Amino acid sequence: MSRIGKNPVSIPSGVTVKVENDIIIVEGKLGKLEQPFSDVVIDVDSDSVVVNRPSDAKDHRAKHGLYRSLISNMIEGVSKGWTKELELVGVGYRASNQGQKLDLSLGFSHNIVLNVAPEVKVETVSEKGKNPIVKLTSFDKQLVGQVAAKIRAFRKPEPYKGKGVRFVGEVIRRKAGKSA
C-alpha cells in the first residue's frame, strides 16, 4: 500500500471538491483547478478526499500516491496559494516588471522580456546592497514551478562564482578555481 496514497486529504472550509466523468474539480477563494485521472477511485466526503486503487497492478500502484499528491496540492493551492522566489546573483543583474511582463537584465547584450501567464502574479523586489528577487505567486503549483524553471534556465548558477538565477535558499556546490 502506498504510504502517501492511503492518507486522506482534508478539505478546509471554503473549498469544494467534485468528481465528474474522470475529472476532479477543486474550487476555492483563489481559483478553480481541474485534473483528469484514471486507474484510481476517488471518494469525496464532506471534510476529506480518499484515493483508493482497484487492484495491486503496477500502474494502479504507481498512480495511487501521484493522484493523492496532486489533489493535495490543488486543495492547498486554491485555499492558500503557492509562492516561488528567485534571486538574481551577479553584478548588474536586474529585474523589473510592468504587469505580466518581466524584464530581466542578466548580462547578455539585450534584456530578456518574458510574458508571464495571467494566473501567475509577478512581483520584483530590488533593495540597495541586496540581490534582486522575483516573486511568483499563483494557485497552480505546477504552473508556478514551470515559470520559475523557465526564468532560472535563462542563466543557471555557475559553480565557480555562483553567478546566475537561483531559488531563494538554494545551495550551489562551489568548485575551486585554477590553482597556481
What's the pLDDT tens digit per position in 7-52? 999 999 999 999 999 999 999 999 999 999 988 999 999 899 999 9
**Spatial distance between the Cα atoms of 151 and 112, rounded to a whole number of angstroms:** 10
Domains of the chain: 9-79 (3.90.930.12), 82-167 (3.90.930.12)
Q: What is residue 130's predicted lDDT score, i.e. its pLDDT? A: 93
Q: Is the pLDDT of residue 1 over 60?
A: no
pLDDT digits (tens, 9 = 90+) for 67-89: 999 999 999 999 999 999 999 99
| Edge-to-edge strands, sheet with 32-36 | 16-20, 23-27, 32-36
Q: Kind of pairing, strands 9-10 and 48-52?
A: antiparallel
pLDDT digits (tens, 9 = 90+) for 117-148: 999 999 999 999 999 999 999 999 999 999 99
Record the cell numbers describing residue 61, joined without a space: 500502484
Which residue intervals of 24-160 are DSSP H helices? 58-79, 141-154
Report pTM.
0.90
Helix (H, G, I), strand (E, B) or coil at 3: coil
Q: Is the pLDDT of residue 178 over 90?
A: no
**Spatial distance between the Cα atoms of 152 and 172, rounded to a whole number of angstroms:** 13
Over its C-alpha atoms, the chain yields an Rg (Å, rounded) of: 21
Q: What is residue 132's predicted lDDT score, i.e. its pLDDT? A: 95
**Spatial distance between the Cα atoms of 100 and 81, rounded to a whole number of angstroms:** 18
Cross-strand partners of 125: 133
Backbone angles phi, psi at 97, to 5 degrees: -140, 150
Q: What is the mean pLDDT of the chain?
A: 93
Q: Is the pLDDT of residue 180 over 80?
A: no
